[in-house]
Structure 1
């Protein structure tokens, strides 16, 4: 079986890290497969949401596989470039839901923070262990933590290497929901189904607008015109939303 599983179920794509014996640390081969998955997802109009998960109860992901010391043909872009670490940043157009359990540390924590929605098992632990073991490299995980956690919580994690548990992560607003491990997969799918209830094209346009101007002053964001929003205005889904509202029924989205 592949170390990266990729399948489509209805309008949801499922990407699974499948290397539990290595705590789902990402190898160069996995990195390449992830890039292939993100590329296919971005290009397939019938995929509306993505669920990213990992095999095994012990760990979601502990980052890049640094064992063996084998020389790579090219510099690794962690998680197929989704994180932006080590290579060009891949922007996933579709809403991404991460289902996290066990250790979610280092580059694995970075990967989880790339998601739009995070569902965590009550076994999950989030951390940045780099400085604790005397390592500091690309700081993607540091920058994301500072933006997604309260300032002093993020700094304490960065400077001590201490992990926070799922309940604390939920309290700090890092995760959307905490559930028993046995319910993690079904809960992530429920979130995907809920997201799929909205117009997929409107969701994609909203994601671009929300994230692409996140680091800008509000005045700049308010004055920005987004191509995706302009395109949505002429879409069949936009017309379907209007017709459905007039007929007082649920819209039937096509993603077109």
Structure 2
């Protein structure tokens, strides 16, 4: 794995850590490439079921980006955040559940990266902001499109138009984050969320994520009428057989992810 992030896997859970604390974990081209490698490995490795995205240092989760237009150092163009955000290049879709553990500043591209997660756990010192208009910079506006979808309309518009920030407690009240904890318990809490997800059938979890997100912006009748390939494939999986057997035997299932 390239420098700029730390990557480890333990008990089916991948931990990705932004590791440029002196630069407030802002995303440079090298980190972008490393994140792309991490997401690609998480997607392709059947023994990884859940991912946790965190950051080094107490001051910031990520203060945004000091790159523009994606990373092209090796001839590969990608969106910001290793392809995850869809800003500045082709978007990479993470098929496995992602939990973001956010502390300190999560602003600009860092806020957007957090919003790419399925679950957000915030330290009580976290601050979320969209500073573009305040500093007179407007890019491809990806963060604005996510904010207006993940926050109440008037709250999102206030963030966008003023460039001001909201704290962790406000973010929880508005439904942006799942849980707020003291900074010292941030990673522990994120890991507990990961364990809870990993205790479920990994293939069922992945199929559910695909179905929900692929039709999130569609009318209900179309979503209900859609055939979802991952769900259909799950019907013939070893995990589906194991789930039925475990239920009949009144025991915990032993998932294989296959």
TM-score (norm 2): 0.95
Aligned 1:73-152 pairs, distance under 5 A:
73=73, 77-152=79-154
Aligned to 1:34: 35
Q: d(CA) in 2 for partners of 1:108 and 1:98?
A: 11
Q: d(CA) in 1 for partners of 2:230 and 2:142?
A: 27
Q: d(CA) in 2 for partners of 1:107 and 1:128?
A: 8
Aligned 1:151-162 pairs, distance under 5 A:
151-162=153-164
Gaps of 5+ in 1: none
The one of 207, 221, 242 equivalent to 2:209 is 207
Q: CA 1:249 to 1:72, structure 2 compared with 1: closer, same or farther past 3 Å?
A: closer
Query: How many Å apart are 1:77 and its aligned residue?
Result: 2.3
Q: d(CA) in 1 for partners of 2:87 and 2:7?
A: 22
Q: d(CA) in 2 for partners of 1:252 and 1:170?
A: 34
Aligned to 1:19: 20
Query: How many Å apart are 1:62 and its aligned residue?
Result: 1.1
Gaps of 5+ in 2: none
Q: d(CA) in 1 for partners of 2:239 and 2:174?
A: 36
The one of 205, 216, 220 equivalent to 1:218 is 220
Query: How many Å apart are 1:85 and its aligned residue?
Result: 0.7
TM-score (norm 1): 0.96
Query: How many Å apart are 1:72 and its aligned residue?
Result: 6.4
- Tell me if structure 2 keeps the 8 A contact 1:97–1:192: yes
Q: d(CA) in 1 for partners of 2:201 and 2:78?
A: 35
- Tell me if structure 2 keeps the 8 A contact 1:20–1:56: yes
3-state SS of 2:180 partner: strand
